[in-house]
């Protein structure tokens, strides 16, 4: 069973390579542009009422994967699925970003943490009732070394 | 540019069809089993410290899409990307579920809202620092009719 995914747009960001890129939106005030292809523009209606959106995208510069990896924010190897490492069997990235504006097929977003030119796969509205679990326990992340600045 | 995705496991749930299935994990106490294929088992290490995980999966029984849809929880049509409707250009579903246990390649999860047999594409740890935005504004969802019970 295979599933073929095709970009619905392109994400423009200030980041040409991973060095210096924030590793999660929460550590970033960087502004990016999510350019949705014209054929999908009508699907963006009603998004402007949402303060945050979920971006799903292809981690297009990742290749291969290991099942144990050292996360950026930790010193020891962890199981891949217990990390947000970009090299995964299905290289789908997920970022929650603040929606600043939405016009003419372009979303201006804040808190972007992806490489310039990243292929967009989907946009979903962020709904706190579905998506916010502020009291969740976060395993090794809760006990990580605290001298990291959130940048790779 | 195309991206080929292949399942890394199968999600077992009590739901054989959409009728009677909760439309979001938040409305569900249903327990499901996420059976990860043996070749990926090592990647599950360290997950048990997390109380919640993000499941990405193929919406394998969806076919085609419309750019304007009527959400289950609303009476009017909305732009597709402002909804969580399952028929999308790239049919990737996302659910945040509580992790009850993780052993022998099988995650027992609570709050599942997908059809039995759904192909699993990725598991990511839920990290409140990255993923929780409890104060986010949710557009039309915040103003939806309030007589809905969250079931389709």
Q: What is the pLDDT of residue A17?
A: 84
Has residue A152 got a pLDDT over 50? no
> What is the C-alpha separation between A141 and B131, in angstroms, rounded?
13
Q: What is the CA radius of gyration of chain A?
A: 16
What confidence score (pLDDT) does residue A34 get? 98
Structure tokens at B13: 């749930």
B6 band by pLDDT with thresholds 50, 70 and 90: very high
The larger pLDDT score, comparing residue A18 to residue A124, is at A124
ipTM of this predicted structure: 0.93
Query: Which residues between 32 and 71 in chain A have a beta carbon less than 8 angstroms from any beta carbon of chain B?
Result: 36, 40, 42-52, 54, 56, 58, 60, 67-68
Query: What is the percentage of chain B residues whose pLDDT exceeds 70?
Result: 92
Query: Does the pTM of the predicted model rise above 0.80?
Result: yes
Contacts of A6 in chain B (CB under 8 A): 1-3, 89-90
Average pLDDT over residues B90-101: 96
Q: Rounded mean pLDDT of chain A?
A: 91
Q: What is the pLDDT of residue A29?
A: 86
pLDDT of residue B16: 87
Pairwise CA distance, residues A93 & A147, whole Å: 25
Question: Looking at A88-92, A120-124, B17-21, B114-118, which range is the least confident one?
Answer: B17-21
Mean pLDDT of A55-81: 92
Name the average pLDDT for chain B.
91
Map residue B80 onto helix, strand or coil: helix
B151, pLDDT greater than 70:
no
The pLDDT assigned to B152 comes to 42
User: Which is more confident, A66 or A152?
Assistant: A66
Burial B112-150 (b: 16+ CB within 10 A, else e): bbbbbebbbbbbbbbbbebbbbeebebbbbeebeeeeee
Tens of pLDDT along B108-149? 999 998 999 999 999 999 999 999 999 999 999 998 876 555
Q: How far is A31 from chain B (nearest CA, A)?
A: 17
Cβ–Cβ below 8 Å for B56 and A56: yes
Question: Would the CB atoms of B8 and A90 count as touching at under 8 Å?
Answer: yes
pLDDT at B26 over 80: no
**pLDDT tens across B41-71, in order?**
999 999 999 999 999 999 999 889 999 999 8
Residues of chain B in contact with residue A100, where contact means CB-CB under 8 angstroms, are none
- Of the CA atoms within 13 Å of residue B37, those in its CB half-sphere come to 11
Dihedral angle computed from the Cα positions of residues B60, B64, B68 and B73, in that order, rounded to the nearest 10 degrees: -30
User: Is the pLDDT score of A149 beyond 90?
Assistant: no
Q: Is B19 in the A-facing interface, judged by CB distances under 8 Å?
A: no
Mean of pLDDT values over B95-105: 95
For residue A133, the tally of other CB atoms under 10 A from its CB is 21
DSSP at B37: -
Residue B139 has its nearest CB partner, among A46, A68, A91, at: A46
With CA atoms as reference, report the closest residue to B113 among B35, B10, B20, B36: B20
* A:B CB pairs within 8 Å: 252
Contact between A122 and B88 under an 8 Å Cβ cutoff? The reply is: yes
pLDDT, one tens digit per residue, over A74-109 is: 789 999 999 999 999 999 999 999 999 999 999 999
């Amino acid at each position: 069973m295979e599933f073929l995914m095709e970009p619905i747009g392109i994400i423009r960001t200030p980041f040409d390579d991973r060095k210096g890129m924030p590793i999660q939106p929460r550590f970033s005030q960087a502004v990016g542009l999510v350019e949705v292809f014209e054929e999908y523009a009508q699907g963006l209606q009603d998004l402007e009422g949402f303060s945050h959106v979920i971006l799903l995208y292809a981690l297009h510069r990742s290749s291969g994967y290991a099942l144990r990896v050292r996360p950026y924010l930790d010193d020891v190897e962890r199981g891949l699925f217990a990390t947000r490492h970009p090299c995964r069997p299905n290289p789908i990235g997920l970022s929650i970003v603040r929606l600043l504006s939405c016009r003419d097929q372009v979303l201006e977003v804040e808190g972007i943490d992806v490489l310039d030119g990243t292929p967009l796969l989907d946009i979903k509205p962020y709904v706190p009732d579905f998506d916010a679990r502020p009291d969740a326990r976060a395993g090794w992340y809760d006990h990580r070394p605290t001298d990291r600045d959130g940048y790779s």
